[in-house]
Amino acid sequence: MGDSTPVSGALGPVSGITFLYFDYLVGARAFFTQILGDRMVVDHGWVAIWQAGPGCFIGAVDAKRSSIPLSSRGGMLVSLNVHDVPAWHERIRGMAQGASQGAPYQVTSITPVTMNDETGDMSFFFKGPEGYDFEIQEFLRAGERKTFLLE
């Protein structure tokens, strides 16, 4: 087995970007900006990146310009940690109603807010553009709040 020492210092990662691939980039752009309220930090036309939080970024790529093979999509969950899950639930539900009235994105399958005693978090799930799965969650235990909510 290899060395299990965490990489830190100059070699350690300082941020992360999750890239999602879309056939309809216009809808993804509207979703990240209007629904999630993220700030776009890079825009090259065929790829754009939004800052979802400190050191946390989400990128939307035109599927026709993909740098990896796109034989299938799915099998992943984008979880965003927030301070007020019920308020986010109301926001997403309200924006989903607007989306059903002609917005360029889709938000469907919004679940109720649930508490998970085993993991100590509160969350809900929904489907975003092109069927990607999203979770809005809030950790409730002090240790996890410090780690994930930067408290």
pLDDT tens-digit readout, 26-70: 999 999 998 888 889 989 999 999 998 888 899 999 988 877 777
pLDDT tens figures, 131-149: 889 999 999 998 888 888 8
Query: pLDDT value at position 1?
Result: 47
Note the CATH number of domain 14-64+77-148: 3.10.180.10
Q: What is the pTM of this model?
A: 0.80
pLDDT tens figures, 87-123: 999 989 988 876 556 667 788 899 999 999 988 999 9
Please list, residue by residue across 49-70, b when 16 or more beta carbons sit within 10 angstroms of its beta carbon and e when fewer do: bbbbeeeebbbbbbbeeeeeee
Helix, strand or coil for residue 144?
helix
Helices H, strands E: what count in the chain?
Answer: 3, 8
Q: What's the CA gap between 10 and 150, in Å, rounded? A: 22
Query: pLDDT value at position 107?
Result: 86
Query: pLDDT value at position 96?
Result: 80
CB within 8 Å of 9: residues ≥ 6 apart = none
